[in-house]
Amino acid sequence: MLKGKKILLGVTGGIAAFKAAALCSKLVKEGAEVRVIMTESATKLITELTMQSLSKNPVYTDTFDEKNPQYIAHISLADWADLVLVAPATANIIGKMAAGIADDMLSTTLLATQAPIMLAPAMNVHMYVHPAVQRNLAELAARGVMLIEPGEGLLACGYTGKGRMEEPESIVAVVNSFFSREERREGLPLAGKKVVVTAGGTVERIDPVRYISNDSSGKMGFALAKAAQELGAEVTLLAANTQLAPPAGVRVVSVESAQDMYEAALAEWSDTDILVKAAAVADYRPKSAETQKIKKTGDTLTLELVKNIDILETLGKQKTKQFLIGFAAETNDLEKNALDKLKRKNCDLLVANDVTREGAGFGTDTNLVNIYDQAGLVQSLPLLSKEELGFVILELAAQRLPGASK
């Protein structure tokens, strides 16, 4: 699977550095060409000679130790890589990356590369959950850096909890999946398909200057529209209340209320292949919207609300050939609520997130989701940028369309 792929492996000074040897060996056995950069701290835990023997290439540790006078090593390596994989990734290197610090060979190369970057964090459980580390990870995920979440178990420090670097076999599987996705993108799996995406929060008018809405930014929906377009689809974006610029090449239909969005979706429905309902649609609206501004007349004001049409449920009952993807923002009982919604609304896939978790709420550039189908959990994904998540969701949908090659 990895034959001919050029992987730059960064090894930092965590006790999990010993796993980097097995990881390097497995990558090479899969056919990858591996070059290794070690931090000074990493060399205290595992030798350069070990990594050189396993990678069959020189190991880089010092920015100023230029092995070939024709090249500047950190720039050459940055340009050479198809993927930069840092395993283990300590809190220190994560902080440097987030802040743009380049004070050694690895951090300098990371700052210079245009290749995709993947991190396998490893550290004490209290370090991992520290707000500074979580902030830095969220910042990196928003930039498109891929994270392989650490596992839970007994750590070298004696604590038990989350912080153990994922096993080399699992990391190799993630790397394989990444390159597999890249190849599928090149094949434009949604070419000739019509994808409709809803995004943003609907607005339900109280009077000309007031309304009921929610905190949805539209970022997830816009990311999905962009991914669908890049995967070859003809894309229509039904955009409610949002301040975002639409992706290039995407047809945009602006809507305001839940009723507007339903009518716009219905107009596209008959020839739609995939509908992704990422918008946050208001469940209720004022029974009547005043034509003039309501004046302040007392200490209280009572609004009578009536239920809006449930767009997802309505279209779920009507679908014939359409592939329907719903979203669920939950604060508790994630799986139970997600599966209940998926079945009630006849979705093919449902993407659920716990909006109370760091990096997964409204307005963020990242998301942390589980994907379900009628049989149950399909994928539990780590913290990803919404752009990367958009690709994951639509590639999964493309694989499940009638006639798709498996």
Q: Is residue 178 a known part of a binding site?
A: no
Estimate the crossing angle of helix 386-400 against helix 168-186, to 10 degrees: 70
CA distance 207 to 293: 5
CA distance 124 to 142: 24
Q: Is residue 345 a known part of a binding site?
A: yes
Q: Is residue 293 a known part of a binding site?
A: yes
SS3 content of the chain, % helix, strand, coil (to 5): 35, 25, 40
Q: Which residues of 123-160 are buried (b: 16+ CB within 10 A; e: fewer)?
A: bbbebbeeeebeebbbbbbbeebbbbbbeeeebeeeee
Burial degree of 182 (CB within 10 A; 0-12, 13-18, 19+): middle
Nearest 5°: CA angle at 340, between 338 and 341? 65
Residues 6+ apart with CB under 8 A from 339: 350, 372, 376
Q: Is residue 162 a known part of a binding site?
A: no
Catalytic positions, written as ranges: 157
Pick out the residues of the known binding site.
Answer: 283, 293, 327, 341, 345
Pick out the residues of the known binding site for CTP.
Answer: 283, 293, 327, 341, 345
